[in-house]
A and B are shown apart, each in its own frame.
Chain A
């Protein structure tokens, strides 16, 4: 039995991925802004005894593609030639959407239209007669509502029927007018009579592309046409049309296509009422208002990061208590030794230290999901266009940058929506400053330890600093390594939508699962390595005989010379001094001592240096390593939490802590982000530049914060 391959093509934001998820049971990311999907995705399913493969393509407005995701979509439809192309058409936006349909219909593959979000069109007062539309276009039209899984079976049936009766497929063709059609017929004849392999493309399509002066098709024909007479005839035809109509064939083609669409829409759609939601329109206008827009954006960001901290505080402390309880329990039952040290000091302090922040991570991603699903992200890009234009990019760059608040990986990939190579590289180079979710645990840990009352604002200040740094760096990069003008800016503002509960639930669940998986794999692995590096080689002789000192303190207490509290305090001091000597003697201690001179001017000791170093693997590991540093050698049953330990540590001042936050914000991206950076930029040189300049900048800024703060008397 043969598998039917069909592609989902359509304008950005028409709901392709939602339909794809419905058909395949996958849970791919969807959102309400153009450019959520930038890579094609495949899935398979069986339906009524047939096997089908479905390919979800990035959105595109036309088959004349310019940006990378559009080229991916175009190439798949034109070169891979799926058995059927399902064209997802946003019903509430039918005229513009059908423009791509007219182009798809001219290609070889049979097209089935899924009239998606039909419920929304109804609500907006546009009723579409799909039977009539199907008749006018000569292709099947199926009504679907992706978000409610309506029409999926009918769509699959239409795909199968179309694939199995290709002979019956007779799409209507746009009539380009008498003069134009006769030019077209002449070229078609030349193309057909020549022995150029057309690879299954329709001669009419090839002729049309020649008249349009499409670079790919014209180049292909010129390479295969030995005496060049087809290319010559095409050029003459183009000139005749230009003289006759005073316009280029390409413009004429697009005008006639819209004419065809207007005709079809006039017959197949009725306007029952022109209902608009006045309040939504007003909110929308405020969001993109030239004066109000920026403060609204700043407020929303402040709200997002504050809520992430404040709402997460309680559940975070529950998990923290849970981890402490498990630690205490293990310390009671496990005999002291290497095994318990690994389990408690290494794994539990490391992985447990990271898991504590799960509630904050879920909240952060829920907030980002709300921004994505409502359509706000495109508005923010619109508002930022003016500023971005001044510094040498345009507003669209802001979309991947905002996604970077979640994770740099989709942000780097999202930069594919930018057509210009330089625009894209500059955007990729600053994406890392849009502080990702993995760095959030470090902020929460330190802000909570040193500024418990203002933690939310301290965290927001770090995010704001990231945005400002990105803006300054764009300007600098544009003035030095990437000179030139940015590509023109044009972007759709998708309609405001309320996020569905289901979509938010999926987002939250997905992120929670990813975070826990990361904690269970990479963080676990690095924690074990860090524990090993901090435990071995083991020190046997110490500067002082700590066990004897502890015994003597106990004896002194028994004589009544000191109080119980004093005794406990001294014992704790001796124990921590012993642990410190041990860890200094270890591999990690040696490495740390080695790098310490480099970070001393920033106010960091070697332990922070080791934590930063381990953050290379993943940013959450910074927290895990700090946990392990304090966890190794800590055998007390009711030892304080990591936050309390940090706050009590005389080595660290709030000023040094802030310098550390600045360093974590700015320094090189994690391993995964770097590999994606290399793949997306295709240049090892750019990757090295990215690693080098971010780390140098992190050092410089942390230096300024720490030394400047000291000069001002803040240290």
Chain B
């Protein structure tokens, strides 16, 4: 049985997300162009992601739908994410969830 997804309910900016943790994408403040672009690259609301690099400056590195992406800081500041309950985190990052 698939466990239900649970996040901690608190939305933060992707630019503030912590390395190694898993998040669920909550929304995007950008314009239409930006949204279409990130949607097509696998980042739509509800997508699950894991941060692999975020030194606090420069681009953010993350994993979503088995792909690694680099996202510029400016763009990362327009994307909202919520932290996932660690029990389910790894599970939903797998394909065919």
A interface residues (Cβ-Cβ under 8 A, vs B): 61-62, 64, 66, 92-96, 99-100, 124, 126, 213, 248, 250-251, 254-255, 258, 262, 265-271, 274, 284-285, 288-290, 378, 381-382, 385-386, 389, 394-395, 488-493, 495
Contact = CB atoms under 8 A, between A and B. Distances in A.
Interface stretch (B4-12, B30-38, B80-88): B30-38
Given A254-B36, A381-B70, A490-B37, 8 more contacts: A255-B46, A274-B94, A285-B52, A290-B57, A389-B73, A488-B34, A489-B72, A492-B70
A262 B39 CA distance: 14
Contacts of A62: 36, 39-40
Contact of A270 (B32, B53, B67, B96): B96
Contacts of B13: none
Contacts of B95: 94-95, 126, 265, 269, 271
Contacts of A267: 96
Contacts of A64: 36, 40
Interface in B32-82: 32-42, 44-47, 52-53, 55, 57-59, 61, 64-75
Nearest to B19: A285
Most chain A CB atoms below 10 A, which of B32, B34, B41, B65? B65
6 contacts: A213-B32, A254-B39, A269-B95, A381-B70, A394-B72, A488-B34
B13 to A, nearest CB: 14
Given A64-B36, A258-B44, A290-B53, A382 B59 contact: yes
Contacts of B53: 285, 288-290
| Count class of interface residues, chain B | 35 or more
Nearest to B45: A255
A258 B43 CA distance: 10
A271 B93 CA distance: 11
A213 B36 CA distance: 12
A262 B44 contact: no
A274 B63 CA distance: 14
List the 4 shortest-distance A-B pairs measured between CB atoms, nearest first: A489-B72, A386-B58, A62-B40, A61-B40
B42 A490 contact: no
A488 B79 CA distance: 12
Contacts of A288: 53, 61, 70
Contacts of B38: 490
B44 A255 contact: yes
B35 A382 contact: no
B67 to A, nearest CB: 5
A395 to B, nearest CB: 7
A94 B55 CA distance: 29
A268 B74 CA distance: 37
A254 B44 contact: yes
Contacts of A381: 70
A93 B44 contact: no
A491 B70 contact: yes
A95 B36 contact: no
B35 to A, nearest CB: 6
Contacts of A94: 66, 95
A489 B70 contact: yes
Instruction: Name which of A62, A248, A488 has the most chain B CB atoms within 10 A of its CB.
Output: A488
Given A269-B96, A382-B59, A61 B72 contact: no
A495 B37 CA distance: 21
A266 B53 CA distance: 29
Contacts of A254: 36, 39-40, 44
Interface centre among B33, B41, B64, B66 (most CB of A within 10 A): B66
Contacts of B67: 93, 96, 492-493
Given A248-B32, A285-B53, A490-B37, A93 B73 contact: no
B58 A96 contact: no
Contacts of B94: 271, 274
Contact of A96 (B36, B61, B65): B65
A496 to B, nearest CB: 10
Contact of B61 (A95, A213, A248, A382): A382
B66 A251 contact: no
Contact of A389 (B35, B72, B97): B72
A490 B32 contact: no
Nearest to A379: B70
A493 B68 CA distance: 5
Counting chain B CB atoms within 10 Å of each CB, which of A248, A378, A489 scores highest?
Answer: A489
A389 B74 CA distance: 10
A95 B65 contact: yes
A490 B71 contact: yes
